[in-house]
Structure 1
């Protein structure tokens, strides 16, 4: 790929959530960028970029827009357009775009594919089975349960094979709950086509950590660590969500652990994808469980995570455009990426009812009264009658930076109390595990 413009760049960001707001916010800091478009965007993004009324997975409309508006670089946020071959399509028209190909994005698009890849290339992960029929799946659950220690809180984890917006994972508290999840997916069509095939895994005990990494297909450079909070309620209770908050760094990810993950998981994954004829370029997200046997892969995502991107990018000191250009030119090994030593915490504020049916149209107050070292990233928001109102399940990602996790937590919750709407819900324990490890 030829070099990007030194200045005056037009950039298109695809997506409209909190991750995309963080990407727009970071890209806007580059002196090389003149104008940013975002499709479809949201009310917060509209303060930094021109919103474009095109859905994130409408690849043909996005291509036409990029061509007609002479876009210099497109950055893809969510997984759906990657699975719909947006990168392949743009590259075929010689338009610079950042993200993995459709074939490479299958590492997220199919959990069965990723599990088979890990097994083939000896990348540590949980024991598993893949099923399209109910009876063999139920028998496998019984088999897994019989091998679990008596004190294990769960017999297994049931996952929809395809994309399910972060909600297609059931951590079953009992054998019957696991079997009900299988029946719901395979017979009840609870996740549509995404759940027509299920992956059943042994339950792994430990603490989770998210490692996002830049890669040009040959070189992989990890970003600073983060920890996500998937469950809707405090103390990791209730159903899974797209993510209710995250913080960086995660103390569980020690200096001793980092090189092990790089050598046993990250580098082998990139080598495996290359060996499979699916070279991986972009951001690889490895969701890890730190077990007594060492780090193991829970899942991969083929893009920036949400909400991890918000606290991670708030710590990035280098120009994101420079990093992307180095990746697209396969010169990542020549790039020095700088990170702040500060800690960051993101608290997601969700609408009443989320992750099930949720309310929309609630007026958000306190958006103009923002404390120093705080960024309010919009996710599900829109403008109506001169007000910013709720328009999604996850509404805001309030993110604060402090000299340490304790200071960042205190600051983010001070802001969260000030910025609210009717029915607003947020977890009160984001970052608690970090405080416990550091105390």
Structure 2
């Protein structure tokens, strides 16, 4: 996981040696200097691999390891994964087109998983939205052990195929897209669980959380997502930029999120459909839900649709956004401001507010008969709760903390930095 601990003074150089550029970025943001929107930030140490045109040549993905690959403008690329006959498996694929590429209205990413006999286990797609603004999008493949799904239950080799939805569509450029892949496995439960989804849950949308906003700068990728707790959070976002946050959500708890885009003082006029896109992904980086907000220069807001409390039995639901709320862990909020906003209202930055509410009492989850890969991905640890409450990976907040320790001796400050790094890096260091 990328570390964003920017320590001022003698510690700045030492920290930057661990994470080049991060410390300087935090200080620049704190001083008010303009920050160019960053490209997608891959997981530190992600292994570079090449997708195969034929499944016979597919590279084997190891669960818990992050990979970097690429997707050509046409045709499928294939990867493989070795699975037992008891674990559920999820392979998330994040596509990151170049910011200067172009995409059509329906262009996007398709991910499918098949067994060795060619049976389809799962198919998922993701698109860029009405604004036609290139930005990181993710889709996943699933191999699930379930009495209701007789196929794809055997141990053996499974294949993940990745392709573009509309590579030759009007407005789509033929550029190759960067890919980040992460496979996750979930062990079976020690006891047989419910075979149906919970029938009753509070689907009413509560009033968005009120209060003074606290600044937290979003990360540039899933692996570097900024921790958020319940609260009101402010960030600056520029046209074409995508920012990532993560919210720990325990078993039994319910997540509600509203995104607001502040009015502009540029004097520009016009309207951008789908200007602000907010997507929610679960701990396996599977898409849950999203909301798109048009912009005409005035204050606008939109909320994610009502979501059920996190429950292992949600996976039995027929509705995708309910089924995806199937495990505890870090849920990811990914916000993108369409690059076309700049055409009418300038380069910004624009003020974005996220109102995050986590309601309900936490409860015990299922007893798993084994360990997930990466370890601990489907649980919420005390360290994660602390990181979310303190915002140890935040931008402006991090810079202020850096200033606070500026007078500490080099050795002591490095120990402090390493302590925070341990909290932030935690289980996803396996990537």
Q: Same fold (TM over 0.5)?
A: no
Taking structure 2 as the reference length, the TM-score comes to: 0.25
TM-score where L is the length of structure 1: 0.25
Structure (1/2) with the larger strand percentage: 2
More helix by share: 1
Structure with greater contact order relative to length (CA < 8 Å, sep ≥ 6): 2
